[in-house]
Chain A
Amino acid sequence: MRRRRRDDARRSGPVLAGLGLLAAALAAELAWAGWSAPETRTRLEGERALVGALGLSDTALFTEARYTRHPSLADLNTPFQDHPGGFDHFPSASIVPVPALPESGRLWFAGEEEPS
């Protein structure tokens, strides 16, 4: 009975300490992010130089299909690349969105050809 009363009396102590500990862990993680920044920068510069030297244009994140491995160079203009109305054959195609497409379906005219 007495033990229960003591529990009730200062229940917030350990809980607040736990929250403080979690906040400290978050702060430590953020500090680590800042601390590892120079190392990260060096790695990214190396990777960037490699991209330039090899002439890479896309990430190797999805290696299932042409249009997910190289979304920026995919031949999206190919008719019937998959079967019409078919569900995506490859699961990652549901994650990779359609890259920037022409804004409208209108044909583009040079200034002097613009219909009045």
Chain B
Amino acid sequence: MTPWLRRQRALADYTLAALARRRGKNAALVAVYALVVFALASAMFFAAALRHETTQVLQDAPEITVQKILMGRQDLVPAATVEKIAGIRGVTRAEGRLWGYFYDRTNGANYTVMVPGDKAMEPPAGSVALGEGIPRARGFTWDGAPLFLSRFEGDLQKFEVVRTFTRASGLMTSDLVLMNGADFRAFFGIPEGLYTDVVARVRNPREVDTVVAKAGALMPEMRFVTRAAIQRSYQKLFSWREGLLAALIGAAVLAFVIFAAEKASGLSAEETREIGILKAVGWDTRDIIAMKLWEGALVSGGAFLIGTVAGFAHVFFFGGTLFAPVLKGWAVLYPEFDLAPQVDGVQLLSLALLTTLPYVAATLVPIWRTASADPDAVMR
């Protein structure tokens, strides 16, 4: 072992002995610190994974969605408008869509009922395909149990369940009830020739904005939502400064700031006396700083590792269960879904810097001040 290493080892030994003297206080410190890192790491991993998943998956979202706005509210679109949109130059295909919401009076859940865009996915008459959340919310006890929906008192509609989506697509399909077009019209009482909205495909994706501008001038009562706008919405929802992440980590960051500020505001009388004694027995300022660096590194490094390892496990092995109550709110249905682990070096590095640097800096600054003073004055 080189002398330098031996010196560092001895400093680490001394630091740990000093920490062990206030065992309870320091254990609590590491625990709280690790908890803050855990919350921060979980939120970061969760949001990054969700952002990655949604941007990947929504690449095939409808290119342009057209809604009709009447008296400030969304209204049904007549078939003639679908043809008008299909006739715009650059549009290759326009199709009316049928979808809506259904409030299940039996359990208070909201379902999204829709007719699949792809005809091959349409279930046969009298049957439905369900997202993974609905059998769970309805408490289906056996495979192949039919779905009964009640629109009003005394009404009961029976649907055979031909398919249930798995949790592999739970994030997108959890609350879906897929129906046949004719069943949908009969169930909601929508006459033929009317649609919820229209989706349009454009030959050249770079022409989307031009097509939207042209169509907007032609049909000012319509609202156009592009795929790029959908993706922007989701980027924003899971971005660092806004939405989900801000709500989740706001409290953790605040706690950490208070914690670091308290630490930076000064040393306890005991710590000051310890430094005085060390200086009096011959330690120089450099040794004391090195010792305190060890203290900062051991405490913050330990807390960072515990918090990050636990945060990763929480999000990717346990599905972020602690976030579920926050995200669920009052909803009855909350999707069960797998998240793709999406961790990069920059993310880990920023987490490490965000959590360890302020702490190390906060412990070093007051030490520097005390250690460079006269030991006699410090001890007094």
Contacts and interface: CB of A to CB of B under 8 A. Distances in A.
Interface string A1-40: 0000000111110011011001101100110110010001
A53 B117 contact: yes
A77 B223 CA distance: 10
B145 interface: no
Contacts of B308: 26
B312 A57 contact: no
Given A51-B60, A58-B230, A100-B232, A25 B223 contact: no
Contact of B58 (A43, A51, A70, A79): A51
Nearest to A99: B233
A43 B168 contact: yes
Contact of A63 (B232, B332, B341): B332
A104 B349 CA distance: 37
A91 to B, nearest CB: 4
B240 interface: no
Given A8-B17, A75-B73, A92-B331, A60 B343 contact: no
B69 interface: yes
Given A78-B72, A97-B242, A54 B114 contact: yes
Interface in B170-226: 170-176, 178, 197, 199, 217, 223, 225
Contacts of B9: 12
A81 B306 CA distance: 45
B172 A50 contact: yes
Interface of B: 9, 12-13, 16-17, 20, 50, 53-54, 56-62, 65, 67, 69, 72-74, 97, 101, 109-110, 112, 114, 116-118, 120-121, 131, 133, 165, 168-176, 178, 197, 199, 217, 223, 225, 229-230, 232-234, 236-237, 242-244, 247, 298, 301-302, 305-306, 308-309, 312-313, 316, 326-335, 338, 340-343
8 contacts: A19-B302, A36-B341, A40-B340, A44-B57, A53-B116, A54-B116, A69-B112, A73-B225
Interface of A: 8-12, 15-16, 18-19, 22-23, 25-26, 29-30, 32-33, 36, 40, 43-44, 46-64, 66, 69-73, 75, 77-79, 90-92, 94-97, 99-100, 110
